[in-house]
Amino acid sequence: MSNNKIIHWFKYGSPQSFYPLAGKMIPWFWVLATIFFVIGLYISFFLAPTDFQQGEGYRIIFIHVPAAWMSMFIYLVMAFWAGLGLALNTRLSSMMAQALAPTGAIMAFLSLWTGALWGKPMWGAWWVWDARLTSALILFFLYIGFIALQAAIDDARRADKAGAILALVGVVNVPIIYFSVKWWNTLHQGASVSLTKAPSMAAIMLWGMLIMALAFWMYSIAVALTRVRAIILEREAHTEWVKELPEVKQ
Amino acid sequence: MNAVIAIIRRDLLLAMRRKSEVLTALFFFIIVVSLFPLGIGPESTLLKKIAPGILWVAALLATMLGLARLFAPDHADGTLEQMVLAPAPLGLLVTGKIIAHWISTGLPLVLLAPVLGLQFDLEADALGILVVALLLGTPLLSLIGAIGAALTLGVRGGGVLLSLLVLPLYVPALIFGAGAVEAHISGLGAGGHLSLLAALLALAVFFAPWATTAALRIALE
């Protein structure tokens, strides 16, 4: 019985059976993303009260914090798939890692950009060399490195494996980089402003942030699945089943 | 063990036969360091304050220069394939190559740094800390850099890509290395920074040759 289940799950490890499954799942994730975005944006713009210290400007955290969370989370997921692809030699896992990288990079960029927009009115500067900002910047560089390495290698399998090693080295390094930047910051007595020192936020703000995070999460899955489908088509273009697909036949 | 020593001797011999490559990296280090005062201005208090950072950033860039040569010539003439086939484990041979790379590019930087530090009016004890920090830090740079060099082996635009991959990973070494000197100057004591640098080095000695070996095998597939 349990044996059957295992076979059942591994079935979707092959691009051929995953491609239609992903196609069926994508609309659902878009629907979920839209629902969460509507609720989250409604809470963040209409229900959440104006902050008595930061005024209306604080509302950017409803975009900023979920983007920052996703940028870190996607790196872990990407490294997980890349590592799985390296260990089990499954093509789909590596394609998944490749599909996640641009979304992660966009999230990292978005968190930096919105952070700058928030920092100007709150701190009076677009950028401070705060530990979080600096480590987010380095995370963005790590994403760019991963994408650039994969783009530079023509052989797809080699690109997968080289990228996997880089992602795994990056995962080991991310906590080291984070703590080193944090200690560097305390040594230099740099920016003394920190989110953690802010008064604890109202429950409704927290809810808005969590729902927005869910919306970002669903959006990331939908986009990554769409991208992985494109990668499958590109890499499996020589196979019979791709040639048989109605969207390819046209 | 004999294999490691043989590899180190071979690579050092090759480096000595092509002295210009080693010297280029060294002069690059000197030039980069001397460009900073020209860009910032000759104010000695400011220069003294930023000297550890400048020396460290220049050291990062100078080690980057040599990295592309770490595996590329051996890859081009087929020596690397022979190393993979050799009875000695590839990880050991790679460790030997990294040690040789450090002796030919890292160690000269360590020896030269105090002289350049004098230009920035660093005190004698701060220079001592700088040397110790570089002594711990430059092998770390060679070890981490070797992973990047193996990953970009034979790849289009490898040199620029290499710096994109490796420089973000160098951040902790830079922070603790330059931080050690600054902490000493400001009276906090450099012990903590040096310990962390040594811990990172221990971690890298264990993991980096392993990751480099894996990357080399992928490159040679």
pLDDT in tens, A31-44: 999 999 999 888 88
Question: Under 8 Å CB-to-CB from A115, ≥6 apart: which residues?
Answer: A64, A68, A133, A136
Give residue-wise pLDDT tens across range A46-86: 887 776 666 777 788 888 889 988 998 999 999 999 999 88
CB atoms within 10 A of CB A203: 8
The shortest CB-CB distance from B164 to any of A148, A180, A183 is to A148
* Residue of chain A with shortest Cα separation from B215: A162
Calpha distance A60→A45 (Å, rounded):
10
Query: What number is the average pLDDT over the span B146-153?
Result: 91
Q: How many CB atoms lie within 10 A of CB B66?
A: 24
* Smallest CA–CA distance from B147 into chain A, residue: A166
Q: What is the pLDDT of residue A191?
A: 42
The C-alpha of A141 sits at a distance from chain B's nearest C-alpha, in angstroms, of: 7
In whole angstroms, give the CA distance from residue B195 to residue B214.
29
Say yes or no for a CB contact (<8 Å) between B211 and A165. Answer: yes
Compute the distance between CA of residue A155 and CA of residue A153 in angstroms, rounded to an integer: 6
pLDDT band at B32; cut points 50, 70, 90: very high
pLDDT score, position B74: 87
What is the Cα A247 distance to its own chain's centre?
29
Which pLDDT does position A187 carry in this prediction? 57
| pLDDT at residue A167 tops 80 | yes
Distance from CA of A120 to the nearest CA of B (A): 26
- Mean local confidence (pLDDT), B124-138: 90
Q: How many domains does chain B have?
A: 1
Is pLDDT above 70 for B187? yes
Q: What is the average per-residue pLDDT within B162-166?
A: 89
Percent of chain B as helix, strand, coil, to the nearest 5: 85, 0, 15
3-state SS track over A71-116: HHHHHHHHHHHHHHHHHHCCHHHHHHHHHHHHHHHHHHHHHHHHHH
According to the model, what pLDDT value does residue A194 have? Answer: 47
Asked if B200 lies within 8 A of A148 by C-beta distance, the reply is: no
In angstroms, how far is the first alpha carbon of chain B from the final one? Answer: 26
pLDDT band at A186; cut points 50, 70, 90: low
Tell me which chain A residue has its CA closest to the CA of residue B184. A187
**What pLDDT was estimated at residue A177?**
79
**Given an 8 Å threshold on Cβ–Cβ distance, is A152 in contact with B161?**
yes
Q: Which residues of B touch A148 (CB under 8 A)?
A: 161, 164-165
Most confident of A204-218, A226-240, B77-91, B131-145: B131-145
Average pLDDT score, chain A: 82
Chain A hits for B156, Cβ within 8 Å? 152, 154
Which residues in chain B have Cβ-Cβ distances shorter than 8 Å to A149?
A: 151-152, 155, 161, 165
| pLDDT (mean) for A104-123 | 87
Q: What pLDDT score does A24 carry?
A: 87
Q: Which residues of B make CB contacts under 8 Å with A?
A: 147, 151-152, 155-158, 161, 164-165, 167-169, 171-172, 175-176, 179, 182-183, 188, 196, 200, 207, 211, 214-215, 218-219, 221
Residue A192 scores a pLDDT above 50: no
Range of the structural domain that residue B204 is part of: 2-220
At A188 the pLDDT is: 53
Report how far apart, in Å, the C-alpha atoms of A24 and of each of A229, B51, B94 are. Answer: 11, 59, 48
Q: How many CB atoms lie within 10 A of CB B125?
A: 11
CA distance B100 to chain A (A): 23
Using an 8 Å CB-CB cutoff, list chain B residues near A181: 171, 175
Residue B13's nearest CA partner among B103, B76, B112 is B103
Q: Kindly report, residue by residue over B56-110, the tens digit of the pLDDT.
A: 999 999 988 888 888 888 888 888 888 888 888 888 899 999 999 999 988 999 9
**A173 contacts in chain B (CB < 8 Å):** 169, 172
ipTM: 0.84
Mutation for B interface: A158, A160, A176, most B CBs within 10 A: A176
pLDDT number for residue A134: 81
Q: Provide mean pLDDT across the span B128-143.
A: 92
> What is the mean pLDDT of the segment spanning A14-24?
85
pLDDT recorded at residue A135? 83
Query: For residue A234, which amino acid is it?
Result: E
Size of interface A-B (CB pairs under 8 A): 73
Residue A199: what pLDDT? 47
Which residue has tokens 């795994």? A168
CA dist B57 and B23 (Å) reads 18
Does the structure show a pLDDT above 90 at B140?
Answer: yes
- Tell if the CB–CB gap between B161 and A162 is shorter than 8 Å: no
Question: In this predicted structure, what is the pLDDT of residue A1?
Answer: 42
For residue B91, give both structure tokens.
Answer: 């990880």
Phi-psi region of A178 (alpha: psi -120 to 50; beta: other; left: phi over 0): alpha
**Closest in B168, B183, B221 to A187, CB measured:** B183
Cα A143 to Cα A28, A109, A225, B3, B214, distances in angstroms: 28, 10, 18, 37, 21
Q: Which residues of A61-80 are buried (b: 16+ CB within 10 A; e: fewer)?
A: bbbbbbbbbbbbbbbebbbb
